[in-house]
Amino acid sequence: MKKIVIAGSASLSEKIGEWKGFWESQGYDVINYPVQISPESFLDEYPKVHADFFRDITKADTLFVMNEDKNGISGYLWAQTFAEMAFGVARNLLWGDKKLEISLLKMPDKNVQSYEEIERWLKFGWIRLYEADGTAMR
C-alpha cells in the first residue's frame, strides 16, 4: 500500500478530513496530516508534531500539498507548508533512490511569497499539479 502525507493548513480541518477520506478510498495509507495543537500545550507539542511530520515525509511515497483557498487567497500556501514541500524536494535531490512524488493541489495566487519558486520547481519537474481526473496521481 502506498503511503501519503497530506500537508496544508491545520485550520482547514474539514478539508483535511475530506482529502484524508479521498486518499484512503484510493488505496493510500495516510500516515500523517495537519493537526491543530491546543493553545495551552502549543509550546510543548509543536516541536514533536513537526519532527514527526518531517520524519513521516521521509517514509512516504507521496506528499500531497492541500493548498486550498483561505483568507481570500487562491491556493493558500504559508511558510510551514512551503518548508514541508522544500524538505520533500531536498529529499529527492539528495536521496534519489526512492523518489517522493510531490503533488500541489493548485497553483497558488501570484501574491503568495513562494509563487516564483513553485513555478521554477514545476518547470524542473520536481513537483507537479494535482490532476483531478479520477485516476488520482497515476
The parent domain of residue 115 ranges over 3-129
In a domain, 85, yes or no: yes
In a domain, 135, yes or no: no
In a domain, 22, yes or no: yes
- Pick from 121, 7, 17, 100: nearest CA to 53: 7
The residue length of the chain stands at 138
In a domain, 138, yes or no: no
Residue type, 33: Y
The CA distance from 49 to 36, in Å, is: 10
The CA distance from 129 to 105, in Å, is: 6
In a domain, 58, yes or no: yes
In a domain, 136, yes or no: no
In a domain, 29, yes or no: yes
Here the CATH number for the domain that contains residue 34 is 3.40.50
In a domain, 137, yes or no: no
pLDDT in tens, the chain (138 residues): 999 999 999 999 999 999 999 999 999 999 999 999 999 999 999 999 999 999 999 999 999 999 999 999 999 999 999 999 999 999 999 987 789 999 999 999 999 999 999 999 999 999 999 986 544 444
pLDDT value at residue 132: 62
Structural domains counted in the chain = 1
pLDDT value at residue 136: 47
pLDDT value at residue 95: 86
